[in-house]
Structure 1
């Protein structure tokens, strides 16, 4: 029996976007390779629920914020989440699993561990630079410069996005020699798409976005809109349900979804999506041809840049947490102006053309063939050297 090549996928568990696109990679590769994961927290639990082997690690950072505002300083510099601890743990995992190849989605502790152990690795990222004039640049720019030193050491840096000029993360990228646009890495295969007449909110996950969910519920009650609110947390879901019950005695048009394993159906059948500026969520939206209302976290330059690109491509509308009262007007604009839906559908066609799942499989397959070819060359050279030694002795 032929031994399958072993691939270890390491996931940054902050937000759910890294997790979903790594699952897309695993789903595409699992029939050809042995797959295992490095993960932590909710990400680890979710990946395990899908039947994959998962080695538990520690987070490098912890996303922190309050009332819609992202705190980049506290997120990165937090004594409770020590990168050194993660590196040590991940070295142990790599030694134990002994993979032929490592794929890391923004989990740089794994990359450092891989370098120590001389294991080849690919990096998946939608951010290696962040264009911003805000004070956060004094933290972001040095961090990104350091990460690009690591990025350049990878086999390739794979960007799960459309090529320029349609790149959602364009304002968060610096082109380096080993960077390649591979197209969206989403869990689903967009088909049988329709408009089910409801607004889908996928704001959830962090409590500091809660006020958006409240305001969207208020707008739904006021205008008799059908909305589905995915909270990403059972606690937030219970709190929101209590709030909605105070707003109306008959909240039949508001569905509160604390947590879901059926996001594909929700996206497929919605009219449009209200989301934060996370890259994976936006890529899923345009892959299904759905217009977007994007509300990036305050002081989160990466999300703000993604949101700006959505606005530039006119496939959606961007509003600020500071101007949350504009949400009702944005909903009316999306509903009444067809340009957003038309542009979203154009991007959907491009996403089908640049299929990230297929492309990453081709990239890994090429590397495997190259590895086999190099191995056969070494075997042949060793054979010839052995023959030469034998003949010399004779």
Structure 2
């Protein structure tokens, strides 16, 4: 089977999931092509694969921990071109895939439908209308148009893969709002993680160790600084900061001895395996990776990013960790870290999440789904 994986480049969660699927398909002997842009394309290539350049589709803009929907809409429109869909159509003609998997990338769905190629949507956010509420008439009108568009998209695809635990354990269930007439096309695969916990050799780190992945966007720098200040308050707790492509560690002077900066890494899983707790934003991908490795979570969702706020609330509600704010003071952050490290209930619940992820084996489940459903064209 010839498979084309297309991914949204805003946030590395989309990319990480596609890499997990690509690895699974390649191991099973299928032909895989990746389509990406920006630092998502960079990550695909650093992992060792070849990626085709595709047009960017969404640009997120914000500052001080807050997502600006108005500015994001304006920037996205500024970066868009009528010729973008033609580029995707040309890519499909060159590759002639048997199936397209489009992770949050809607141009790929439109192009695949036009070419009459089976197409599956991979995604965790099905309530995008929330992003546009109570943000003024311009944003509100955009929200109505977007809702109508994605509802038609979800009805048009051959299947919808939700890369999450099945209900009632889904982290994204507050964002799961879909018309009932498409229920038969929905498949909860389980987390799509590149490596199972048992397959990874842990990074040798001093314990207890807190892994911070904050730093993918510049407007999270305030959170980054607060976590760094919390680290200074207790030298007995160690920290590893994976700073992301948008943060320069040199801008943070006076790094304490219990803190290590790794810069950006294309393979964070040895750090997950060697840590005791994760501090992250509210992105679905990293939350699921943390749970698949059995780690309690402190989540700092981007303010006014409804999907992330819903994800973080579910993490707290299910007892996997706590939802914090970029206004949370370092002293309170440290208190939360101590609670998650010391209270056995958090370790017990996240251990069960790890076991369920291993049982579900999301990448293999998606591969088996496509092997059953997709008819391969004769050479």
CA RMSD in angstroms, aligned pairs only: 2.2
Task: Name the stretch that deviates more: 165-174 or 351-360.
Answer: 351-360
Question: Alpha-carbon deviation of 1:270?
Answer: 0.4
What is the Cα deviation at residue 140 of structure 1?
Answer: 4.6
| 2:343 pairs with 1:343 | no
Deviations 1:321-354 (A, max 9, x none): 2334532222122123221111111111221222
Where 2:52 maps in the other structure, the secondary structure is strand
Residues 202, 273 of structure 1: 8 Å contact kept: yes
Offset of residue 301 of structure 1: 0.2
Aligned equivalent of 1:57, options 54, 57, 65: 54
Listed as ranges, the matches of 1:255-294 within 5 Å are 255-294=260-299
Q: CA deviation at 1:58?
A: 1.5
Q: Structure 1 length as normaliser, TM-score? A: 0.86
Say which of 213, 219, 222 aligns to 1:211: 222
In the other structure, the counterpart of 1:222 is 233
Give the Cα–Cα distance (whole angstroms) in 2 for the partners of residues 208 and 310 of structure 1. 23
CA distance in 2, matches of 1:124, 1:262: 22
Secondary structure (helix, strand or coil) at the match of 1:273 reads strand
Change (3 A) 1:204 1:235: closer
Output aligned runs, 1:1-394, within 5 Å.
5-31=1-27, 32-78=29-75, 79-82=77-80, 84-130=82-128, 132=130, 135=134, 138=140, 140=143, 142-175=145-178, 176-177=182-183, 178-191=185-198, 196-224=207-235, 225-233=237-245, 235-240=247-252, 243-245=253-255, 251-325=256-330, 326-368=332-374, 371=375
- CA distance in 1 between partners of 2:208 and 2:112 (Å): 48
The CA deviation string for residues 201-220 of structure 1, in whole angstroms up to 9 with x for no partner, is 01121111111111111111
Question: Does the residue aligned with 1:77 lie in a helix, a strand or coil?
Answer: helix
Following superposition, the deviation at residue 236 of structure 1 comes to: 2.3
Cα distance, 1:141 vs structure 2: 5.8
> CA–CA distance in 2 between the matches of 1:228 and 1:140?
39
Moved more, 194-203 or 114-123: 194-203
Question: In structure 2, the residue corresponding to 1:293 is in which secondary structure?
Answer: strand
TM-score (norm 2): 0.89
Cα distance in structure 2, aligned partners of 1:277 and 1:85: 33
Q: Is the 8 A contact 2:121 2:157 kept in 1?
A: yes
> Residues of 2 paired with 1:180 and 1:84: CA distance?
32
SS at match of 1:255: strand
Change (3 A) 1:235 1:201: closer
Q: Which is worse superposed, 211-220 or 158-167?
A: 211-220
What runs of 5+ residues in structure 2 fail to find an aligned partner?
Answer: none
Alignment CA distance shift 1:76-1:226 (3 Å):
same
Give the drift of 1:34: 1.1
Separation in 1 of the partners of 2:201 and 2:293? 7
Where do 5+ consecutive residues of structure 1 fail to align? 246-250, 376-394
How far apart are the structure 2 equivalents of 1:141 and 1:44?
Answer: 31
When structure 1 is superposed on structure 2, of 43-52 and 197-206 the one drifting more is: 43-52
What secondary structure is seen at the aligned counterpart in 2 of 1:148? helix
Structure possessing the higher relative contact order (Cα contacts under 8 Å, 6 or more residues apart): 2
Change (3 A) 1:335 1:197: same
In our comparison, the structure showing a higher alpha carbon Rg is 1
Count of equivalent residues: 361
Partners of 1:346 and 1:77 in 2: CA distance: 43
CA contact (8 A) 1:122 1:155 kept: yes
1:46 and 1:132 mapped to 2: Cα distance?
30
Name the CA shift for 1:233/1:50 in 2 (closer, same or farther; >3 Å): closer
Equivalent position SS for 1:126 = coil
How many Å separate the matches in 1 of 2:124 and 2:74? Answer: 22
- The 1:7–1:89 alpha-carbon spacing in structure 2 relative to 1, beyond 3 Å, is same
